[in-house]
Amino acid sequence: MKITNAEFCGVFVEQKLLPADGLPEIAIVGRSNVGKSSLINKLANRKGLAKSSSTPGKTRTINYYKMNQQWYLVDLPGYGYARVSKTERARWGKLIEQYLLQRKTLRGVILLVDIRHAPSENDVLMKEWLSHNQIPHLVVATKSDKISRGARQKHLNIIKKELNLPADDIPLCFSSQTGEGTEALLTLLSEIF
């Protein structure tokens, strides 16, 4: 699959306001500052489509991006950012949970983890929650350009162990800087649809 048309469709804070056109959706989840916006921009081959920030916790809404006029890539608020109130974190959590459980057009979830670090407690909880609720998901290890190729397997093994992934389930390495993993991820997304 190649994305030839990508457009930002809006930000939403309530389920009832989400697009109602019935197009299939793929959601992106991950901790704050894991590279969700960079991944969206790289897949769409368009700089600045999704706004990235050096300040974690910037995405506080559900952000919709329409791809090829056929499906949506949905950026959910990042979790685990400490500089927001407990009330705000709880609101994000409820928003994410309602979306993931109730959205009929959701086809799957991309769970992003930073390859340089062991998955956080929140990453583990998200993976377990997705599995428990039988929501199809794919683990993508971002920022793969930040570690050497020789060290990569060690980092992937840590991710597999912490997330309790099956032996044959290897996280997809992705770099928004080099483009590594872009074609593989687009191929996997096309298979979902």
In this prediction, residues 139-143 reach a mean pLDDT of 97
- Residue 15: what pLDDT? 85
pLDDT score of 80: 64
Q: In this structure, which topology does domain 6-192 adopt according to CATH? A: Rossmann fold (3.40.50)
Nearest to 75, CA basis, from 65, 66, 67, 83: 65
Q: Work out the average pLDDT over 144-166.
A: 95
Q: What angle do CA 101, 60, 187 make, to 5 degrees?
A: 60
Residue 77 has pLDDT above 50, yes or no: yes
Cβ atoms < 10 Å from Cβ of 68: 12
- Tokens linked to 15: 């389920």
Beta carbons of 11 and 67 less than 8 angstroms apart: no
Choose among 55, 111, 52, 57: nearest CA to 81.
Answer: 57
Closest CA to 123 of 166, 176, 91, 161: 161
**pLDDT band at 61, cuts 50/70/90?**
confident
pLDDT of residue 153: 94
- pLDDT at 106 (0 to 100): 97
pLDDT at 3 > cutoff 80: yes
pLDDT band at 45 (very low <50, low <70, confident <90, very high): very high
Given a contact cutoff of 8 angstroms between Cβ atoms, the answer to whether 136 and 128 are in contact is: no
Has residue 112 got a pLDDT over 90? yes
Lowest mean pLDDT of 46-50, 56-60, 165-169, name the range: 56-60
56 has pLDDT over 50: no
82: pLDDT strictly greater than 70: no
pLDDT range class, residue 167, cuts 50, 70, 90: confident
pLDDT score, position 53: 53
pLDDT reading at 58 higher than 60: no
